[in-house]
Amino acid sequence: MVINVRLPDGSTHRLEAMEGWRVMEVIRDWGLPIKAECGGACACATCHVWVAEDWVDRLVAPSDEEAEMLDGAFAVDDRRSRLSCQLLMTPELDGLELELAPESIAEAAGDAAATGTSG
């Protein structure tokens, strides 16, 4: 399975993902610069992403807790914004496309060689 992640600089990264992993974990473990300050506890909104329009209706609806956290995020898109820590990889999400919201970018970028394939 793969996730296609676009960064605010326009670069796109194709990341291998395993079933059951949180999308945030996949992004972080491939070395992309995602803040994810709470580590996936749905307590900070620093893993905010915009899901590609084609994928929105394929996702499980956000929980009340996730919606509340998104209320405190910047540049929220009422339809496409999600917390990547709340999205679990399943075979149905193979090929998922999303973009990291600018406020979710960590200050120190990871090693570019460890970020999957660019496209």
Give Cα separations from 52 to 77, 108, 117 (angstroms): 11, 26, 19
Strand partners, 117: 14
- Per-residue model confidence (pLDDT) at position 115: 44
pLDDT of residue 5: 98
Give which of 100, 75, 103 is closest to 11, Cα–Cα.
100
Report the pLDDT value the prediction gives residue 108, as an integer from 0 to 100: 62
Q: Give pLDDT, residue 107.
A: 83
The single-letter code of the amino acid at 12 is T
Walk me through the domains of the chain, giving residue ranges and CATH numbers. Answer: 2-107 (3.10.20.30)
Q: Which residues contact 117 (CB under 8 A, 6 or more apart)?
A: 13, 14
The whole-model pTM stands at 0.88
Given a cut of 70, the residues of the chain with pLDDT beneath it are 108-119
What is the structure's pLDDT at 83? 98
